[in-house]
Amino acid sequence: DSGVTQTPKHLITATGQRVTLRCSPRSGDLSVYWYQQSLDQGLQFLIQYYNGEERAKGNILERFSAQQFPDLHSELNLSSLELGDSALYFCASRGTSGANVLTFGAGSRLTVL
């Protein structure tokens, strides 16, 4: 158990729908990262939050949004889903002295039918 908790583990939905993925970072970690893993794109960085504020943005679609709450958990919202959004979505957290060392959760597998 890495200490990073992601829910749900699996999610099946239809095109056009909206889903929310949740992440709780390791205790004490202030930074949360979201990555998307797909067969054709590999591991792509989506977005990072630090103590509630957005710090870095990667290849995140406009249909996707995220936020980090005061209790430091984070949610990734995916809307107007398309077949190509089917992927494994990972959350990772980083401590204040972690120097880029990310601890990953087990991921949320999204299937869009």
Partner 1 sequence: AQSVTQPDIHITVSEGASLELRCNYSYGATPYLFWYVQSPGQGLQLLLKYFSGDTLVQGIKGFEAEFKRSQSSFNLRKPSVHWSDAAEYFCAVGAPGAQKLVFGQGTRLTINP
Residues 6+ apart with CB under 8 A from 21: 6, 7, 8, 11, 75, 76, 77, 78, 89, 91, 108, 110
Quote the CA–CA distance of 68 and 25 in Å, as a whole number.
Answer: 10
Site string for partner 1, 37-76 (x = CB under 8 A): -----xx-x--x-x----xx-x------------------
* Residue 103 binds to partner 1 (criterion: CB under 8 A): yes
Pick the closer one to partner 1 by CB: 48 or 74.
Answer: 48
Options 14-22, 31-39, 60-68, 69-77: segment touching partner 1 (CB under 8 A):
31-39
* Residue 107 binds to partner 1 (criterion: CB under 8 A): yes
Phi, psi of 35 (to 5 degrees): -125, 150
Q: Closest approach of Cβ 22 to partner 1, in Å?
A: 15
Q: Closest approach of Cβ 78 to partner 1, in Å?
A: 19
The SS3 call for residue 84 is: helix
Q: For tokens 């430091």, what's the residue?
A: 72
Residue 21 · residue 46 · CB < 8 Å: no
Q: Kindly list the residues in this chain that would bind partner 1 in the complex (CB under 8 A).
A: 2, 4, 31, 33, 35, 42-43, 45, 48, 50, 55-56, 58, 90, 92, 99-107
